[in-house]
Amino acid sequence: MSDLFFYGTLRYVPLLELVLGRTADHIKLTQAELHGYGAYAVRHQIFPMVDKGEGRVTKGLLVQGLTPEDIDRLIYYEGGFDYDLHRLPLRTDRGEHVVAEVFLPVPGLWEPSTPWSLKDWAADWGELTILAAEEVMSHYGHLPASEIEPRFSAIRMRAQGRLAARRREASQTWDITRDVVVHEHSRPYLGYFTMEEATLQHRRFDGSMGPILHRSALINGHAAVIVPYDPVRDCVLVIEQFRAPAFFVGDPNPWLIEAVAGMVDPGESPEEAARRETREEANVSVTELFSAGDGYSSSGSSAEFLHLFVGLADLAEPATTGGLASEGEDIRSHIIPYAEFMDQLDQGKLKNVPLISIANWLGRNRDRLRKNI
């Protein structure tokens, strides 16, 4: 049996239980303090670290009675963040002096910022972190922790997408807790996207439970898609970039004309993502956003959920290239007169469905957007 001290997110008992794969009913939990260290948020991250310093005190949770399996699972989860175990002296809330192992970051890896609060973190990030941890721990015993770490930002984006999905309006007809039965579930692939497979049954329209089905789906987060429109000059901005999926299926022109688009980052709204992506991909600032609808992009195969926008912008400057080099993006912008844009739509030259949807919305709402120019 081993004793560990948690000063950060694993003080959150629902997360601790998920990582351990069992409830904490038979684990001894004691409030304790680590002296000589302070707990701080990691700059540009949503988790904390401890930083050494005279007079600093970190409050946390002493967890006693952990099994070797528990330790393996904890190391697997924390290993993705480059944290290692160190034995340090503690003082419990009853004044007892004990020694326990503590996860400390690799020196110099992270930069501390402001003092960290478990209560504030749980309110802002607890639910999302649970969803991300569910995906991480589903790979325990199948993938090494070293393969989780480079994909963790994508895992968090997917967790944000799952969280947004769970907050959508429930059906008035169906109850997924009774009308869907999952017999097996797995994640056979992990990359920037992940693939999920399941053997399941769902209730049929006649009220009976249907046959056992084998289904798979591409799981990603939710995304913002935007077409900048200049109502004064009556023109739109679209982008062009190479798309590997089109190339994979043999399309002779995998450089596609699309709307500006990107995944919604954790803690970001779709509107904020739309504005950010327009700056990154097209070097254009949007003054006002209009929702052009939202929904699943291909509900038979993918969980991707799109938030569509038209954004008012000044398109007086010539089109440029854009994109983030860190993401391998090479993007060219095109500024097209509205009439020409709609001709391309009518002639079937636009091959990107979100762009087609936004073009149709703009066609119905253009006069309203130009009313006050």
The dihedral region occupied by 21, where left means phi > 0, alpha psi between -120 and 50, and beta the remainder, is left
Angle at 214 between CA 211 and CA 215, to 5 degrees: 120
Q: Which of 55, 40, 56 is nearest to 121 (CA)?
A: 40
Whole-number Å distance between alpha carbons of 67 and 155: 28
Residues 127 and 207: their CA atoms lie apart, in Å, by: 34
The amino acid at residue 219 is I
Catalytic residue among 271, 327, 329, 340: 327
Q: How far apart are CA 63 and CA 83, in angstroms?
A: 18
Q: Give me 275's structure tokens.
A: 């504005």
Whole-angstrom Cα distance, residue 218 to residue 158?
Answer: 11
DSSP string spanning 282-297? H---EEEEEEEEEEES
Pairwise CA distance, residues 143 & 79, whole Å: 12
Q: Would you put residue 152 in left (φ > 0), alpha (ψ -120 to 50) or beta?
A: alpha
Residue 156, helix vs strand vs coil:
helix
Active site residue 327: yes
- 232 bridge partner residues: none
| Range list of H helices, 44-144 | 68-79, 118-138
Spatial separation of the C-alpha atoms in residues 221 and 264, rounded to whole Å? 7
Q: How far apart are CA 90 and CA 319, in angstroms?
A: 60
Quote the Cα angle for 151-106-111, to 5°: 80
Task: Tell me which residues are annotated as active site.
Answer: 327
